[in-house]
Amino acid sequence: MTKITTCIFDAYGTLFDVNAAARTLAGSGGRADFAAVWAQVSADWRHKQLQYTWLRAITGDHCDFWQVTQDGLDWALERAKLDDPELRQALLGLYWTLAAYPEAPAVLRALQAAGLNRAILSNGSPAMLEAAVTSAGLGDLLDAVISVEDVGVFKPHARIYDLVGARFGCTPDQVLFVSANGWDAASAAAYGFHTLWINRAGDPVDRLPGRPESVAGDLSAVPNILGV
């Protein structure tokens, strides 16, 4: 097998906990109506956020990830019958500082010590990604933060995965691509990357042309897979 030189991470749901915004606000007190439904709101928010990226990629009606993040939240809040502009603004504000999963820093440090390239490849806009990386204290552990805005289409278009080779001068078989989104891991596998699906929920494998090479419950599996 060709030696893997580069480890690429999806951002939202992989390095950063997309449920953290809603969970944090629900636990802050004083919002009993939201606390009762926060888990469903968060799930709906994420589902619609992703759904809107896929639809926009198909139709060619691109916008940045911040717009679909707001649109997804608006749908989720309306479904929950929560017409509360202050709640909306609070949730959106928290989305810029999502917590990283606890194992993420140690994993990135291990890869850094082994001399591997480390980067994010994400649907997120550059400003969103910069805020999340800074808030989580991961900036010194990454060589690059690559946004789909460089090509103006959302994942899983192949032009997104092309950005990795363009940035690092590597071939697909020199890359381990890590994502908590099954469809992303499958698409990256079909593209030619080695892939690890972080399947925290224990979901079935998506029925798509590609199939993740490895599956794990959290990011701590990455160094073991790479032998570092």
User: Which residues does the annotation mark as catalytic?
Assistant: 10
Structure token digits, residue 26: 């629900």
Q: Quote the CA–CA distance of 185 and 168 in Å, as a whole number.
A: 20
Runs of H (alpha helix) within the chain: 20-26, 32-35, 38-59, 65-79, 85-95, 104-113, 126-136, 158-168, 182-191, 221-226
User: What's the distance, Cα to Cα, between the start and end of the chain in Å?
Assistant: 16
Q: Quote the CA–CA distance of 56 and 52 in Å, as a whole number.
A: 6
Q: Which among 135, 180, 185 has a CA at the least distance from the CA of 161?
A: 185
Peptide bond into 212 cis (omega under 30): no
Spatial contact of 33 and 77, defined as CB atoms under 8 Å apart: no
DSSP string computed for 34-69: HHTTHHHHHHHHHHHHHHHHHHHHHHT----HHHHH
